[in-house]
Amino acid sequence: MNVREMQKLAYDNKVKKGFNIDNIEMEFCYLYGEIGEAYEAYHRKKEDLGEELADIAIYLLGLSEILGIDLAREIEEKIAKNKKREYKVENKVATRIKD
């Protein structure tokens, strides 16, 4: 399954279950909440970390579909852009020095 298909499935599930597809701000809040849950699972060494990361991906895929964004294309373009960038890393903190 490709990213585009996953976007459609995530969105279709929202529609089928009667979940939010109209309030974009709410979707960002849900996504933020899922990131918090994943961090907690990581921090507490819980076994459901993978599931929490999947929840993040599903919310992101659904939000992308709601907004009409081709997430696969955006990711490919961003990876290509990042390849060209140069960074200075000090104490494991990266600072971009060239685009």
Distances (CA, A) of 87 to 5, 13, 30: 34, 40, 32
Average the pLDDT over 17-28 and give the result. Answer: 98
Q: What is the pLDDT of residue 22?
A: 97
In DSSP notation, 14-71 reads HHHHT--SS-HHHHHHHHHHHHHHHHHHHHTT-TTHHHHHHHHHHHHHHHHHHHT--H
Please identify, in words, the CATH class of the domain defined by 3-73.
mainly alpha
The 10s digit of each residue's pLDDT in 57-73 is 999 999 999 999 999 99
Q: What is the pLDDT of residue 29?
A: 98
